[in-house]
Amino acid sequence: MEIPNRGIVFFGTPDFAVAQLEAIVHAGYSVTAVVTAPDKPAGRGKKISTSAVKDFALAHHLPLLQPLSLKDSQFLDELRSLQADLFVVVAFRMLPAEVWQMPELGTFNLHASLLPQYRGAAPINWAIMEGETVTGLTSFFINDKIDTGEIILNDTLSIGENETAGELHDRMALLGKKITLETISQIFSGSCKPYRQDVGNLSQPLKSAPKIFRTDCLIQWQAPIQQIHNQIRGLSPHPGAYTTIQDDHGRTIELKILRTSLARGNAPENTGTLLSDGIDPLYIALPDGTLRVHQLQQAGKKAMAADEFVRGFQPDGKWKLSAFA
């Protein structure tokens, strides 16, 4: 296939965006600039951290822009001077109209859900937390509202019953490459036929995907066990669903639970207790079932498998979830 000699400006920040930028570059399209987030201090040492997209752009000698403000006049002038035909946006902040209206062929975004469902910043996490079994990706033209523009293409993915947000993220990044390249091809060839998002005939209520906060990460142990399992895998590996356990003396330890599965059978005894036996390295007894714990992380330590945690921690049945202590 002959690649048209037309310029693309790419906007993105995390690894998910890198996969799409890599596909565009390897396909032979002309990337006239990459726009990503400014560097910022991160971690306890406040070491300057760069975005994954910046790292890729520098490694491939792509022109790089890191504006503090997307409305800065100098940035807008520089963007205009590139005379790019198309802007591609993946996992980036909301663009002002001065930006997305700039290119002749428009600006499209790749979103990790089947729009109009799960509009917002964290669609992968929320789809799993809500117990969805099917999700997908959508490319759409950006307009003046968040994730509401005309749809260009979409495709679906199934979600495994124990799949985590991190695992789904990686599979969606691969599928995203296909959708991104096909969307660009259709726009450049003039065969693109976008259509409006229909929210009037949905089979289920419209669900949103807002930014994840720490309050969303606290495990609600009074919820049904399936909902707890969904919350844990929907927040794994980052930011991680957390809880605290407490012993008979009132000492507490904070834990992130990163990977679980449901054990079938009757409701167990010792409800709300962190247990270990010869069959399961670690499990949690809940009113409506048993939750096997496969991976977890103690505050200030690295993530570890359950059997490794048990060897070092040696739970003796006296540690209970704080919600049941």
Token pair 């359950």 in the structure block, residue = 306
Token pair 């000492």 in the structure block, residue = 251
Helix (H, G, I), strand (E, B) or coil at 226: helix
- DSSP state, residue 119: B
Rounded CA-CA distance 62/289 in Å is: 53
Q: Per-residue DSSP letters for 53-112?
A: HHHHHHHTT--EE--S-TT-HHHHHHHHHT--SEEEEES-PPPPHHHHT-STT-EEEEES
Answer yes or no: is 207 within a domain: no
Average pLDDT over residues 105-116: 97
Answer yes or no: is 302 within a domain: yes
pLDDT at 28: 95
Structural domain count, the chain: 2
pTM, to two decimals: 0.92
pLDDT at residue 87 above 90?
Answer: yes
The CATH number of the domain holding residue 41 is 3.40.50.170
Residue where a domain terminates, one of 156, 189, 222: 189
Cα 84 to Cα 31, 222, 269, distances in angstroms: 9, 53, 65
Instruction: Categorize the per-residue pLDDT at 263 as very low, low, confident or very high, splitting at 50, 70 and 90.
Output: confident
Residues 23 and 141 in one domain: yes
Residues 141 and 256 in one domain: no
Average pLDDT over residues 225-234: 97
Answer yes or no: is 1 within a domain: no
Instruction: Categorize the per-residue pLDDT at 231 as very low, low, confident or very high, splitting at 50, 70 and 90.
Output: very high
**Domain enclosing residue 278, as ranges:** 214-324
pLDDT at residue 315 above 60?
Answer: no
CB 207 within 8 A of CB 53: no
Answer yes or no: is 309 within a domain: yes
Measured at the CA of 240, the angle between CA 239 and CA 245, to 5 degrees, comes to: 140
Residue, of 251 and 101, whose pLDDT is higher: 101
pLDDT tens string 16-70: 999 999 999 999 999 999 999 999 887 666 678 899 999 999 999 999 999 999 9
Residues 225 and 300 in one domain: yes
The CATH number of the domain holding residue 229 is 3.10.25.10
- Determine the angle formed by the axes of helices 15-26 and 165-189, rounding to 10 degrees: 40
Answer yes or no: is 205 within a domain: no
Answer yes or no: is 110 within a domain: yes
